[in-house]
Protein backbone atom coordinates (compact mmCIF):
# COMPACT_ATOMS: atom_id res chain seq x y z
CA UNK A 1 0.00 0.00 0.00
CA UNK A 2 1.30 3.40 -0.80
CA UNK A 3 1.74 5.92 1.89
CA UNK A 4 -0.46 8.95 1.47
CA UNK A 5 1.61 11.95 0.65
CA UNK A 6 1.23 15.08 2.63
CA UNK A 7 2.55 18.15 1.09
CA UNK A 8 2.19 21.63 2.41
CA UNK A 9 1.19 24.27 -0.04
CA UNK A 10 4.13 26.46 0.94
CA UNK A 11 6.63 23.82 0.02
CA UNK A 12 5.09 23.61 -3.41
CA UNK A 13 6.17 27.15 -4.15
CA UNK A 14 3.18 27.73 -6.34
CA UNK A 15 4.55 31.16 -7.05
CA UNK A 16 6.78 29.59 -9.65
CA UNK A 17 3.72 28.66 -11.62
CA UNK A 18 2.08 32.04 -11.69
CA UNK A 19 3.68 33.41 -14.82
CA UNK A 20 2.50 30.41 -16.84
CA UNK A 21 -0.85 30.12 -15.25
CA UNK A 22 -1.86 33.62 -16.17
CA UNK A 23 -1.86 33.18 -19.94
CA UNK A 24 -3.58 29.82 -19.58
CA UNK A 25 -6.30 31.42 -17.53
CA UNK A 26 -6.45 34.26 -20.00
CA UNK A 27 -6.86 31.83 -22.88
CA UNK A 28 -9.62 29.99 -21.07
CA UNK A 29 -11.27 33.31 -20.35
CA UNK A 30 -11.27 34.17 -24.01
CA UNK A 31 -12.75 30.82 -24.91
CA UNK A 32 -15.43 31.28 -22.29
CA UNK A 33 -16.30 34.75 -23.50
CA UNK A 34 -16.69 33.36 -26.97
CA UNK A 35 -18.98 30.64 -25.75
CA UNK A 36 -21.26 33.09 -23.97
CA UNK A 37 -21.29 35.80 -26.59
CA UNK A 38 -20.05 35.14 -30.05
CA UNK A 39 -19.24 37.60 -32.77
CA UNK A 40 -17.36 40.06 -30.61
CA UNK A 41 -14.87 42.29 -32.25
CA UNK A 42 -11.19 41.45 -32.35
CA UNK A 43 -10.32 44.67 -30.53
CA UNK A 44 -11.78 43.19 -27.38
CA UNK A 45 -9.67 40.10 -27.64
CA UNK A 46 -6.54 42.05 -28.41
CA UNK A 47 -7.16 44.14 -25.36
CA UNK A 48 -7.76 41.12 -23.17
CA UNK A 49 -4.70 39.39 -24.49
CA UNK A 50 -2.65 42.49 -23.89
CA UNK A 51 -3.95 42.80 -20.36
CA UNK A 52 -3.24 39.19 -19.62
CA UNK A 53 0.25 39.56 -20.96
CA UNK A 54 0.64 42.70 -18.94
CA UNK A 55 -0.26 40.90 -15.75
CA UNK A 56 2.02 38.12 -16.79
CA UNK A 57 4.75 40.67 -17.15
CA UNK A 58 4.07 41.94 -13.67
CA UNK A 59 4.36 38.50 -12.20
CA UNK A 60 7.61 38.11 -14.03
CA UNK A 61 8.81 41.32 -12.47
CA UNK A 62 8.02 40.04 -9.03
CA UNK A 63 9.63 36.72 -9.91
CA UNK A 64 12.73 38.58 -10.94
CA UNK A 65 12.71 40.35 -7.61
CA UNK A 66 12.51 37.00 -5.92
CA UNK A 67 15.38 35.75 -7.97
CA UNK A 68 17.43 38.83 -7.25
CA UNK A 69 17.03 38.31 -3.53
CA UNK A 70 16.82 34.54 -3.12
CA UNK A 71 18.49 33.15 -6.16
CA UNK A 72 17.19 30.21 -8.10
CA UNK A 73 13.77 29.02 -6.99
CA UNK A 74 12.37 25.56 -7.59
CA UNK A 75 8.79 24.62 -7.02
CA UNK A 76 5.96 22.19 -7.54
CA UNK A 77 7.95 19.04 -6.79
CA UNK A 78 11.06 20.57 -8.28
CA UNK A 79 9.41 20.54 -11.64
CA UNK A 80 9.46 24.28 -12.06
CA UNK A 81 12.73 26.07 -12.06
CA UNK A 82 12.83 29.83 -11.92
CA UNK A 83 16.36 31.01 -12.50
CA UNK A 84 17.85 33.94 -14.34
CA UNK A 85 17.59 32.31 -17.73
CA UNK A 86 13.94 31.50 -17.19
CA UNK A 87 13.16 35.01 -16.12
CA UNK A 88 15.01 36.80 -18.89
CA UNK A 89 13.64 34.53 -21.56
CA UNK A 90 10.14 34.88 -20.22
CA UNK A 91 10.55 38.61 -20.26
CA UNK A 92 11.50 38.35 -23.89
CA UNK A 93 8.68 35.94 -24.68
CA UNK A 94 6.00 37.94 -22.96
CA UNK A 95 7.39 41.33 -23.91
CA UNK A 96 7.77 40.48 -27.57
CA UNK A 97 4.30 38.93 -27.62
CA UNK A 98 2.87 42.14 -26.21
CA UNK A 99 4.22 43.91 -29.23
CA UNK A 100 3.12 41.30 -31.70
CA UNK A 101 -0.45 40.88 -30.63
CA UNK A 102 -1.60 44.42 -31.49
CA UNK A 103 -0.55 43.65 -35.03
CA UNK A 104 -3.85 41.81 -35.23
CA UNK A 105 -5.48 45.23 -35.32
CA UNK A 106 -4.57 45.77 -38.93
CA UNK A 107 -6.75 48.01 -41.00
CA UNK A 108 -7.87 45.17 -43.16
CA UNK A 109 -9.46 42.12 -41.66
CA UNK A 110 -7.69 38.84 -41.95
CA UNK A 111 -9.06 35.52 -41.16
CA UNK A 112 -7.14 34.52 -38.07
CA UNK A 113 -7.60 37.69 -36.09
CA UNK A 114 -11.32 37.66 -36.66
CA UNK A 115 -11.79 34.66 -34.42
CA UNK A 116 -11.25 34.54 -30.66
CA UNK A 117 -9.64 31.12 -30.89
CA UNK A 118 -6.65 32.77 -32.41
CA UNK A 119 -6.05 34.80 -29.28
CA UNK A 120 -6.58 31.82 -27.07
CA UNK A 121 -4.06 29.93 -29.15
CA UNK A 122 -1.70 32.81 -28.86
CA UNK A 123 -1.86 32.76 -25.11
CA UNK A 124 -1.54 28.98 -25.02
CA UNK A 125 1.56 29.27 -27.15
CA UNK A 126 3.05 31.70 -24.72
CA UNK A 127 2.18 29.55 -21.77
CA UNK A 128 3.75 26.54 -23.45
CA UNK A 129 6.92 28.44 -24.15
CA UNK A 130 7.04 29.74 -20.62
CA UNK A 131 6.82 26.22 -19.31
CA UNK A 132 9.64 25.20 -21.58
CA UNK A 133 12.05 27.76 -20.26
CA UNK A 134 11.09 27.45 -16.65
CA UNK A 135 11.86 23.83 -16.12
CA UNK A 136 14.65 21.36 -15.96
CA UNK A 137 12.65 18.37 -16.96
CA UNK A 138 12.77 17.10 -20.49
CA UNK A 139 9.19 15.96 -20.09
CA UNK A 140 7.79 19.33 -19.29
CA UNK A 141 9.94 20.86 -21.98
CA UNK A 142 8.47 18.38 -24.44
CA UNK A 143 4.92 18.98 -23.39
CA UNK A 144 5.36 22.72 -23.37
CA UNK A 145 7.03 22.58 -26.75
CA UNK A 146 4.21 20.59 -28.24
CA UNK A 147 1.55 22.79 -26.70
CA UNK A 148 3.04 25.85 -28.24
CA UNK A 149 3.83 24.13 -31.52
CA UNK A 150 0.34 22.77 -32.00
CA UNK A 151 -1.08 26.19 -31.30
CA UNK A 152 1.34 27.75 -33.72
CA UNK A 153 0.44 25.29 -36.49
CA UNK A 154 -3.14 26.21 -36.02
CA UNK A 155 -2.50 29.92 -35.98
CA UNK A 156 -0.57 29.65 -39.19
CA UNK A 157 -3.32 27.70 -40.85
CA UNK A 158 -5.91 30.16 -39.60
CA UNK A 159 -4.61 32.71 -42.02
CA UNK A 160 -6.77 30.66 -44.31
CA UNK A 161 -5.35 30.57 -47.74
CA UNK A 162 -3.51 27.94 -49.70
CA UNK A 163 -0.05 29.06 -48.85
CA UNK A 164 -0.76 29.14 -45.16
CA UNK A 165 -2.20 25.63 -45.19
CA UNK A 166 0.78 24.45 -47.09
CA UNK A 167 3.02 26.15 -44.56
CA UNK A 168 1.13 24.70 -41.63
CA UNK A 169 1.18 21.18 -43.01
CA UNK A 170 4.87 21.36 -43.76
CA UNK A 171 5.65 22.77 -40.38
CA UNK A 172 3.44 20.25 -38.68
CA UNK A 173 4.84 17.23 -40.43
CA UNK A 174 8.42 18.21 -39.88
CA UNK A 175 7.53 19.12 -36.35
CA UNK A 176 6.21 15.62 -35.83
CA UNK A 177 9.48 14.21 -37.08
CA UNK A 178 11.35 16.56 -34.79
CA UNK A 179 9.18 15.42 -31.90
CA UNK A 180 10.27 11.89 -32.71
CA UNK A 181 13.87 12.97 -32.60
CA UNK A 182 13.32 14.75 -29.35
CA UNK A 183 11.74 11.79 -27.65
CA UNK A 184 14.44 9.50 -28.94
CA UNK A 185 17.12 11.82 -27.65
CA UNK A 186 15.42 12.10 -24.29
CA UNK A 187 15.17 8.36 -24.19
CA UNK A 188 18.88 7.96 -24.70
CA UNK A 189 19.68 10.36 -21.91
CA UNK A 190 17.22 8.59 -19.73
CA UNK A 191 18.82 5.28 -20.56
CA UNK A 192 22.15 6.73 -19.65
CA UNK A 193 21.30 8.39 -16.40
CA UNK A 194 17.96 7.18 -15.27
CA UNK A 195 16.67 10.69 -15.19
CA UNK A 196 15.09 13.19 -17.53
CA UNK A 197 16.14 16.21 -15.55
CA UNK A 198 18.97 18.09 -17.09
CA UNK A 199 20.60 18.78 -13.78
CA UNK A 200 20.50 15.19 -12.80
CA UNK A 201 21.70 14.08 -16.20
CA UNK A 202 24.67 16.38 -15.88
CA UNK A 203 25.45 15.13 -12.40
CA UNK A 204 25.27 11.48 -13.31
CA UNK A 205 27.27 11.90 -16.46
CA UNK A 206 29.92 13.81 -14.64
CA UNK A 207 30.00 11.17 -11.91
CA UNK A 208 30.71 8.31 -14.27
CA UNK A 209 33.05 10.40 -16.33
CA UNK A 210 31.14 10.09 -19.56
CA UNK A 211 31.94 6.42 -19.71
CA UNK A 212 29.30 5.72 -22.34
CA UNK A 213 30.46 8.32 -24.76
CA UNK A 214 28.66 6.63 -27.63
CA UNK A 215 25.31 6.95 -25.90
CA UNK A 216 25.97 10.54 -24.99
CA UNK A 217 26.77 11.34 -28.58
CA UNK A 218 23.66 9.64 -29.92
CA UNK A 219 21.50 11.45 -27.43
CA UNK A 220 23.13 14.73 -28.30
CA UNK A 221 22.65 14.11 -32.00
CA UNK A 222 18.96 13.59 -31.63
CA UNK A 223 18.55 16.53 -29.29
CA UNK A 224 20.54 18.73 -31.61
CA UNK A 225 18.37 17.67 -34.51
CA UNK A 226 15.17 18.34 -32.60
CA UNK A 227 16.19 21.69 -31.17
CA UNK A 228 17.99 22.60 -34.36
CA UNK A 229 14.76 22.09 -36.22
CA UNK A 230 12.90 24.47 -33.99
CA UNK A 231 15.44 27.28 -34.29
CA UNK A 232 16.11 26.50 -37.91
CA UNK A 233 19.69 25.37 -37.99
CA UNK A 234 20.98 24.11 -41.30
CA UNK A 235 20.10 21.43 -42.46
CA UNK A 236 16.99 21.38 -40.30
CA UNK A 237 15.92 24.78 -41.47
CA UNK A 238 13.93 23.85 -44.56
CA UNK A 239 10.58 24.64 -42.98
CA UNK A 240 11.47 28.21 -42.12
CA UNK A 241 11.25 30.03 -45.44
CA UNK A 242 8.06 28.30 -46.50
CA UNK A 243 6.40 28.80 -43.17
CA UNK A 244 7.36 32.45 -43.04
CA UNK A 245 6.12 32.99 -46.51
CA UNK A 246 2.91 31.14 -45.91
CA UNK A 247 1.96 32.82 -42.68
CA UNK A 248 1.00 36.42 -42.32
CA UNK A 249 3.86 38.86 -41.84
CA UNK A 250 2.85 39.47 -38.24
CA UNK A 251 2.85 35.77 -37.51
CA UNK A 252 6.15 35.31 -39.28
CA UNK A 253 7.67 38.02 -37.16
CA UNK A 254 6.34 36.34 -34.05
CA UNK A 255 7.75 33.01 -35.19
CA UNK A 256 11.14 34.49 -35.82
CA UNK A 257 11.43 35.76 -32.28
CA UNK A 258 9.37 34.20 -29.60
CA UNK A 259 9.50 30.41 -29.95
CA UNK A 260 13.17 30.51 -30.78
CA UNK A 261 14.26 32.13 -27.56
CA UNK A 262 12.62 29.31 -25.63
CA UNK A 263 14.55 26.76 -27.63
CA UNK A 264 17.75 28.69 -27.09
CA UNK A 265 17.24 28.52 -23.37
CA UNK A 266 16.65 24.78 -23.55
CA UNK A 267 19.68 24.37 -25.74
CA UNK A 268 21.70 26.44 -23.33
CA UNK A 269 20.66 24.32 -20.40
CA UNK A 270 21.26 21.09 -22.24
CA UNK A 271 24.41 21.78 -24.19
CA UNK A 272 26.21 23.98 -21.75
CA UNK A 273 27.30 21.20 -19.46
CA UNK A 274 28.08 18.94 -22.40
CA UNK A 275 30.33 21.52 -24.01
CA UNK A 276 32.08 22.28 -20.77
CA UNK A 277 32.58 18.64 -19.92
CA UNK A 278 34.81 17.83 -22.80
CA UNK A 279 32.40 16.43 -25.33
CA UNK A 280 34.63 17.89 -27.98
CA UNK A 281 32.47 16.34 -30.62
CA UNK A 282 29.62 18.62 -29.67
CA UNK A 283 31.89 21.60 -29.90
CA UNK A 284 33.09 20.59 -33.34
CA UNK A 285 29.66 19.74 -34.63
CA UNK A 286 28.11 22.84 -33.17
CA UNK A 287 30.88 24.84 -34.76
CA UNK A 288 30.16 23.32 -38.14
CA UNK A 289 26.42 23.74 -37.74
CA UNK A 290 26.71 27.32 -36.55
CA UNK A 291 29.01 28.34 -39.35
CA UNK A 292 27.00 26.62 -42.03
CA UNK A 293 23.78 28.03 -40.65
CA UNK A 294 25.11 31.55 -40.68
CA UNK A 295 26.67 31.20 -44.08
CA UNK A 296 24.09 29.18 -45.93
CA UNK A 297 21.26 31.20 -44.46
CA UNK A 298 22.93 34.27 -45.82
CA UNK A 299 23.72 32.76 -49.17
CA UNK A 300 20.17 31.62 -49.73
CA UNK A 301 18.86 34.95 -48.60
CA UNK A 302 20.97 36.54 -51.31
CA UNK A 303 18.98 34.97 -54.09
CA UNK A 304 15.46 35.55 -52.81
CA UNK A 305 13.02 37.67 -54.68
CA UNK A 306 10.51 38.04 -51.88
CA UNK A 307 11.28 40.19 -48.90
CA UNK A 308 9.50 38.04 -46.39
CA UNK A 309 11.31 34.98 -47.62
CA UNK A 310 14.55 36.88 -47.49
CA UNK A 311 13.81 37.80 -43.91
CA UNK A 312 13.14 34.14 -43.21
CA UNK A 313 16.56 33.15 -44.44
CA UNK A 314 18.07 36.05 -42.62
CA UNK A 315 16.37 34.83 -39.45
CA UNK A 316 18.04 31.49 -40.02
CA UNK A 317 21.34 33.24 -40.29
CA UNK A 318 20.68 35.22 -37.14
CA UNK A 319 19.77 32.04 -35.34
CA UNK A 320 23.12 30.62 -36.36
CA UNK A 321 24.74 33.73 -35.02
CA UNK A 322 23.04 33.29 -31.69
CA UNK A 323 23.71 29.58 -31.59
CA UNK A 324 27.36 30.55 -31.68
CA UNK A 325 26.85 32.09 -28.27
CA UNK A 326 25.80 28.71 -26.95
CA UNK A 327 28.81 27.15 -28.59
CA UNK A 328 31.08 29.64 -26.88
CA UNK A 329 29.32 29.02 -23.62
CA UNK A 330 30.69 31.68 -21.34
CA UNK A 331 28.71 33.99 -19.12
CA UNK A 332 29.48 36.78 -21.52
CA UNK A 333 28.29 34.84 -24.53
CA UNK A 334 25.13 33.69 -22.81
CA UNK A 335 24.38 37.25 -21.81
CA UNK A 336 25.15 38.26 -25.36
CA UNK A 337 22.58 35.77 -26.57
CA UNK A 338 19.82 37.43 -24.59
CA UNK A 339 20.98 40.92 -25.44
CA UNK A 340 21.13 40.00 -29.10
CA UNK A 341 17.71 38.49 -29.02
CA UNK A 342 16.10 41.45 -27.31
CA UNK A 343 17.57 43.81 -29.88
CA UNK A 344 16.76 41.43 -32.69
CA UNK A 345 13.20 41.31 -31.40
CA UNK A 346 12.86 45.07 -31.74
CA UNK A 347 14.31 45.17 -35.19
CA UNK A 348 12.53 42.17 -36.56
CA UNK A 349 9.29 43.33 -35.02
CA UNK A 350 9.73 46.52 -36.94
CA UNK A 351 10.70 44.86 -40.18
CA UNK A 352 7.85 42.39 -40.18
CA UNK A 353 5.38 45.05 -39.10
CA UNK A 354 6.47 47.12 -42.05
CA UNK A 355 5.72 44.19 -44.30
CA UNK A 356 2.44 43.73 -42.50
CA UNK A 357 1.28 47.27 -43.08
CA UNK A 358 2.07 46.97 -46.75
CA UNK A 359 0.07 43.78 -47.09
CA UNK A 360 -2.53 43.86 -49.82
CA UNK A 361 -5.27 41.38 -50.22
CA UNK A 362 -4.91 41.03 -53.94
CA UNK A 363 -1.51 40.67 -55.43
CA UNK A 364 -0.65 43.58 -57.69
CA UNK A 365 -0.24 42.76 -61.31
CA UNK A 366 2.92 40.92 -62.18
CA UNK A 367 3.80 39.91 -58.66
CA UNK A 368 3.88 36.37 -57.44
CA UNK A 369 4.25 36.89 -53.73
CA UNK A 370 2.99 39.28 -51.10
CA UNK A 371 6.17 41.22 -50.60
CA UNK A 372 8.29 40.95 -53.70
CA UNK A 373 11.18 43.34 -54.00
CA UNK A 374 9.58 45.01 -57.01
CA UNK A 375 6.70 46.08 -54.87
CA UNK A 376 9.04 48.36 -52.94
CA UNK A 377 10.52 50.05 -55.99
CA UNK A 378 10.87 53.78 -55.64
CA UNK A 379 9.22 53.82 -52.26
CA UNK A 380 11.22 56.88 -51.25
CA UNK A 381 9.43 58.88 -53.88
CA UNK A 382 5.90 57.81 -53.16
CA UNK A 383 6.08 57.18 -49.46
CA UNK A 384 9.26 58.62 -48.00
CA UNK A 385 8.69 58.08 -44.29
CA UNK A 386 7.75 54.45 -44.77
CA UNK A 387 10.82 53.96 -46.88
CA UNK A 388 13.06 55.58 -44.30
CA UNK A 389 11.66 53.43 -41.53
CA UNK A 390 12.01 50.27 -43.56
CA UNK A 391 15.53 51.27 -44.50
CA UNK A 392 16.31 51.81 -40.86
CA UNK A 393 15.24 48.28 -39.96
CA UNK A 394 17.23 46.84 -42.81
CA UNK A 395 20.33 48.71 -41.69
CA UNK A 396 19.80 47.58 -38.15
CA UNK A 397 19.45 43.98 -39.29
CA UNK A 398 22.62 44.38 -41.28
CA UNK A 399 24.32 45.36 -38.05
CA UNK A 400 25.08 48.92 -38.94
CA UNK A 401 25.91 50.95 -35.88
CA UNK A 402 24.46 52.54 -33.85
CA UNK A 403 21.20 50.76 -34.55
CA UNK A 404 19.95 48.09 -32.24
CA UNK A 405 21.31 44.89 -33.64
CA UNK A 406 24.83 46.19 -33.93
CA UNK A 407 25.23 46.09 -30.18
CA UNK A 408 24.13 42.50 -30.06
CA UNK A 409 26.57 41.55 -32.77
CA UNK A 410 29.28 43.50 -31.05
CA UNK A 411 28.76 41.72 -27.80
CA UNK A 412 28.53 38.26 -29.28
CA UNK A 413 31.64 38.85 -31.35
CA UNK A 414 33.35 40.19 -28.30
CA UNK A 415 32.46 37.08 -26.36
CA UNK A 416 33.87 34.98 -29.19
CA UNK A 417 37.05 36.99 -29.14
CA UNK A 418 37.30 36.77 -25.39
CA UNK A 419 37.02 33.01 -25.40
CA UNK A 420 39.55 32.50 -28.12
CA UNK A 421 37.13 31.77 -30.94
CA UNK A 422 38.90 34.17 -33.23
CA UNK A 423 38.07 32.39 -36.44
CA UNK A 424 34.45 32.22 -35.41
CA UNK A 425 34.48 35.95 -34.76
CA UNK A 426 35.89 36.53 -38.22
CA UNK A 427 33.31 34.26 -39.77
CA UNK A 428 30.64 36.24 -37.98
CA UNK A 429 32.13 39.45 -39.27
CA UNK A 430 32.29 38.27 -42.85
CA UNK A 431 28.81 36.86 -42.65
CA UNK A 432 27.54 40.20 -41.50
CA UNK A 433 29.13 41.64 -44.59
CA UNK A 434 27.45 39.09 -46.85
CA UNK A 435 24.18 39.77 -45.10
CA UNK A 436 24.67 43.42 -45.91
CA UNK A 437 24.00 42.61 -49.53
CA UNK A 438 20.44 41.41 -49.27
CA UNK A 439 19.37 44.00 -46.79
CA UNK A 440 20.90 46.52 -49.08
CA UNK A 441 19.01 45.04 -51.98
CA UNK A 442 15.76 46.17 -50.47
CA UNK A 443 17.22 49.59 -49.78
CA UNK A 444 18.36 49.73 -53.37
CA UNK A 445 14.84 48.96 -54.52
CA UNK A 446 13.30 51.49 -52.19
CA UNK A 447 15.71 54.33 -52.64
CA UNK A 448 17.35 53.95 -55.98
CA UNK A 449 14.82 52.58 -58.38
CA UNK A 450 11.88 54.30 -59.88
CA UNK A 451 8.38 53.26 -58.85
CA UNK A 452 6.52 50.84 -61.07
CA UNK A 453 4.01 52.60 -63.24
CA UNK A 454 0.94 53.78 -61.46
CA UNK A 455 2.14 52.82 -58.01
CA UNK A 456 1.17 55.19 -55.28
CA UNK A 457 2.46 55.44 -51.78
CA UNK A 458 -0.89 54.37 -50.43
CA UNK A 459 -0.22 50.72 -51.12
CA UNK A 460 2.70 50.72 -48.74
CA UNK A 461 0.54 51.51 -45.80
CA UNK A 462 -2.72 50.03 -47.01
CA UNK A 463 -2.94 47.82 -43.97
CA UNK A 464 -1.81 50.45 -41.50
CA UNK A 465 -3.90 51.27 -38.51
CA UNK A 466 -3.05 53.41 -35.56
CA UNK A 467 -2.05 50.39 -33.52
CA UNK A 468 0.33 49.19 -36.18
CA UNK A 469 1.81 52.61 -36.57
CA UNK A 470 2.31 52.84 -32.85
CA UNK A 471 4.06 49.49 -32.83
CA UNK A 472 6.29 50.54 -35.65
CA UNK A 473 7.00 53.83 -33.96
CA UNK A 474 7.98 51.93 -30.89
CA UNK A 475 10.23 49.64 -32.87
CA UNK A 476 11.82 52.64 -34.55
CA UNK A 477 12.56 54.30 -31.26
CA UNK A 478 13.88 51.08 -29.86
CA UNK A 479 16.08 50.53 -32.86
CA UNK A 480 17.54 54.00 -33.00
CA UNK A 481 18.01 54.66 -29.33
CA UNK A 482 18.97 51.16 -28.36
CA UNK A 483 22.33 52.49 -27.29
CA UNK A 484 20.80 54.10 -24.24
CA UNK A 485 19.24 50.87 -23.10
CA UNK A 486 22.26 48.69 -23.63
CA UNK A 487 23.98 49.41 -20.37
CA UNK A 488 21.08 48.68 -18.00
CA UNK A 489 20.09 45.70 -20.11
CA UNK A 490 23.57 44.35 -20.06
CA UNK A 491 23.93 44.78 -16.33
CA UNK A 492 20.60 43.12 -15.73
CA UNK A 493 21.19 40.22 -18.08
CA UNK A 494 24.75 39.60 -16.99
CA UNK A 495 23.77 39.54 -13.35
CA UNK A 496 20.89 37.16 -13.96
CA UNK A 497 22.83 34.86 -16.22
CA UNK A 498 25.80 34.82 -13.91
CA UNK A 499 23.70 34.14 -10.86
CA UNK A 500 22.02 31.25 -12.63
CA UNK A 501 25.37 29.62 -13.00
CA UNK A 502 25.68 29.93 -16.79
Residues linked to residue 29 through DSSP beta bridges, in sequence order: none
Taking residue 492's Cβ as centre, other Cβ atoms within 10 Å add up to: 19
Residues in the interface with another protein (CB under 8 A) total 160
Binders of another protein in range 195-254 (CB under 8 A): 195-197, 200, 204, 207-208, 211-215, 217-218, 220-222, 224-225, 228-229, 234-236, 238-239, 241-242, 245-246, 248
User: Minimum Å distance from CB 249 to another protein?
Assistant: 12
Give the residue, chosen from 66, 410, 452, 467, that forms a contact with another protein under the rule CB under 8 A. 410
d(Cα 333, Cα 324) in Å, to the nearest integer? 8
Interaction between residue 127 and another protein (CB under 8 A)? yes
d(Cα 284, Cα 302) in Å, to the nearest integer? 27
Segment near another protein (CB under 8 A), from 89-97, 138-146, 256-264, 350-358? 138-146
Question: φ and ψ at 82, to 5 degrees?
Answer: -105, 100
Binders of another protein in range 275-314 (CB under 8 A): 280-281, 284-285, 296, 299-305, 309
User: Minimum Å distance from CB 227 to another protein?
Assistant: 12
Give the residue, chosen from 96, 168, 267, 325, that forms a contact with another protein under the rule CB under 8 A. 168
Binders of another protein in range 388-407 (CB under 8 A): 395, 398-402, 406-407
User: Minimum Å distance from CB 81 to another protein?
Assistant: 11
Q: Rg of the chain's alpha carbons, rounded to an integer?
A: 22
Contact 198, 270 (CB under 8 A): yes
Q: Is the C-alpha dihedral spanning 444, 449, 452, 455 positive or negative?
A: positive
User: Minimum Å distance from CB 231 to another protein?
Assistant: 13
Contact 95, 489 (CB under 8 A): no
Binders of another protein in range 438-467 (CB under 8 A): 440-441, 443-444, 447-449
Closest CA to 158 of 132, 120, 106, 131: 120
Binders of another protein in range 320-359 (CB under 8 A): none
Give the residue, chosen from 64, 89, 432, 500, that forms a contact with another protein under the rule CB under 8 A. 432
Burial class (CB in 10 A: 0-12, 13-18, 19+), 491: exposed
Question: φ and ψ at 109, to 5 degrees?
Answer: -90, 135
Amino acid sequence: MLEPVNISLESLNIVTLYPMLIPVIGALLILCIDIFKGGLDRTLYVAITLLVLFIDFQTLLSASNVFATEGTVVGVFDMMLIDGLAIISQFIIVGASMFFIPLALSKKQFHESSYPEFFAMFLFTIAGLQFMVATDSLILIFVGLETSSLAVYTMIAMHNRDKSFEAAVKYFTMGALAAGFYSFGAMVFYALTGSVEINQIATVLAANGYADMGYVLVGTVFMLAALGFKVGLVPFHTWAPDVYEGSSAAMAGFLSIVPKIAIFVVAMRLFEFLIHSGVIWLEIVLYIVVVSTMTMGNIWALVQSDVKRMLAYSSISHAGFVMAAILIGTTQSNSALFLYWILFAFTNLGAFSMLWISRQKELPHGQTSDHSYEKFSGMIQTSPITALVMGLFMLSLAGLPPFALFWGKLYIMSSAVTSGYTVLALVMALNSAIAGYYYLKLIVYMFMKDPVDGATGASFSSNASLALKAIIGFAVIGTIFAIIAINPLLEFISAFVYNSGY
